[in-house]
Amino acid sequence: MTLPNYRMLQANGLRLRIAEQGQGPLVLLCHGFPETAHAWRHQLPALAAAGYRAVAPDMRGFGGSDRPQAVDAYTVLDAVGDLVALVEQLGEQQAVLVGNDWGATIAWQAARLRPDRFRAVAALGVPMMGRAPMAPSQLFPQSAHAWFYVHYFAQAGVAERELEVDVATALRRIYFAASGEAGPRSDPRTPNPFGMLPRDGGLLATLPEPVALPSWLEPADFDGFVQAFQASGFGGGLSYYRNLDRNWALDAAFDGLRVEVPALYLVGERDTGLAMPGMADLIAAMPGLVPRLRGSHTIAGAGHWLPQEAPARVNEELLGFLRSL
């Protein structure tokens, strides 16, 4: 099997490491937290075989890409700027965007703001949402004893100190707990790394130590993720969360702007996000924000790491969507 080519590109003032495979219309694949471009290892060859040029960057702050030190260098607009510059550096005029988790949030906004560059978008896990009535730091729940995980991630240096003590243990617990194999989200016993956390403890103590890696994650692939985060640390990825309020403030300039390009939405039946109150209503309301939404599909049994957990179904849906363009 032909493997993707990894190389460095200069884009938007940064060096970004990309995985690239195939020739044809450009498809950019944007990973989430805590992942790297390797999360798209099943999609790159499938897209290439179907006649597309598939490119997956390590997003800024992750993997082999540059990691700016300033926390405010990780807004959604910075990441959108990276994608715009990547299209140009790859010698293309337009691309289709595919994103999961944070990559989905960034893909939605890139398609919303630059339809001249991004002719279609497929988002996994995170739906397109309108601007909230208040800043996320006020919106997400917290009490004297517990807080939503984004409040924990927002504390400078705190989550890094916990996650970087033993990267393999951190990733193994997070990957398992957010996967479909952890159990249905309707079951209160199912762990959720992206839910409420006790204030007097960190994230990992709330998650079980799995007896084995999830069936969808080969040891060699897991080791690759571990090595990547041992080298990069978690600070870059966590900085995306530390800009939630700033993203909200910046989005005031674009309030009311819709995603006007063709779009596809996929979510795992056991995605952690579906445990959030009101998420089903947000998904149902998407056609008002994404008038050219061509499909919204729930994938049985899968969790948050959809491209890795259900690659055959994801590839089928993506290729069908791309052919429809």
Q: State the Cα–Cα distance between residues 191 and 77, nearest whole angstrom.
A: 32
Pick the catalytic residue: 66, 101, 251, 271?
Answer: 101
131 close to 156: Cβ distance less than 8 angstroms: no
User: Is 151 tagged catalytic?
Assistant: no
Q: Where are the alpha helices (DSSP H) in 90-185?
A: 102-113, 136-139, 149-153, 158-163, 167-177
Instruction: Tell me the C-alpha to C-alpha distance, in Å, between residue 282 and each of 103, 106, 152, 272.
Output: 18, 17, 24, 15
Of 31, 38, 151, 304, which residue is the catalytic one? 304
Tell the burial category of 139 from Cβ atoms under 10 Å away from its Cβ (0-12, 13-18, 19+).
Answer: middle
**For residue 136, is the peptide bond before it cis, meaning its omega torsion is within 30 degrees of 0?**
no
Q: From CA 7, how far away is CA 242, in angstroms rounded?
A: 29
Query: What gap in Å lies between CA 317 and CA 123, rounded to an integer?
Result: 11
Q: For this structure, is 38 an active site residue?
A: no
DSSP state, 236? H
Which of the residues are catalytic?
Answer: 101, 304
